[in-house]
Amino acid sequence: DAKTTQPTSMDCAEGRAANLPCNHSTISGNEYVYWYRQIHSQGPQYIIHGLKNNETNEMASLIITEDRKSSTLILPHATLRDTAVYYCIVRVRNTGTASKLTFGTGTRLQVTL
């Protein structure tokens, strides 16, 4: 699986949009971009994933650049409960057998009043 690079930490004011970048310059055509978060030692929580098109769900939006070498997770209106470590992961597409997710160090997002 391709390696990802994320900033170690970020701050965001409550109510503002949180934009979390991720570089995955060695991503290949059959790899998805996944985002998870972990709130204070709880189990990781799935947020969103995409292949090449931008994606949006009730939690967040995922913007993937045209060359797929980087992406941005957007939390449109951050709240204090969004304070967590956010992991960007690339993972090979379905080959008939589910494959493991490899977690890096992630970005520690601190949402403040």
Selected from 17, 39, 80, 92, the binder of other proteins by CB under 8 A is 92
* Tokens linked to 54: 């931008």
Interface residue with other proteins among 6, 12, 36, 86 (CB under 8 A) is 36
For other proteins, which is the closer residue by CB, 26 or 99? 99
Strands 9-13 and 107-112: parallel
Q: Does 101 bind other proteins (CB under 8 A)?
A: yes
Contact between 84 and 111 (Cβ < 8 Å):
no
Q: Could you say whether residue 44 binds other proteins (CB under 8 A)?
A: yes
The CB-of-88 to other proteins minimum distance in angstroms stands at 12
Report in angstroms how near the CB of residue 63 gets to other proteins at its nearest.
18
CA nearest neighbour of 12 among 60, 46, 47? 60
Question: What is the 3-class SS of 57-74, one letter each residue?
Answer: CCCCEEEECCCCCEEEEE
Per CB under 8 A, contacts with other proteins among 58-87 are 87
Q: What is the C-alpha to C-alpha distance for residues 85 and 73, in angstroms, rounded to an integer?
A: 13
Binding site for other proteins (CB under 8 A): 32, 34, 36, 38, 41-46, 49, 51, 87, 91-106
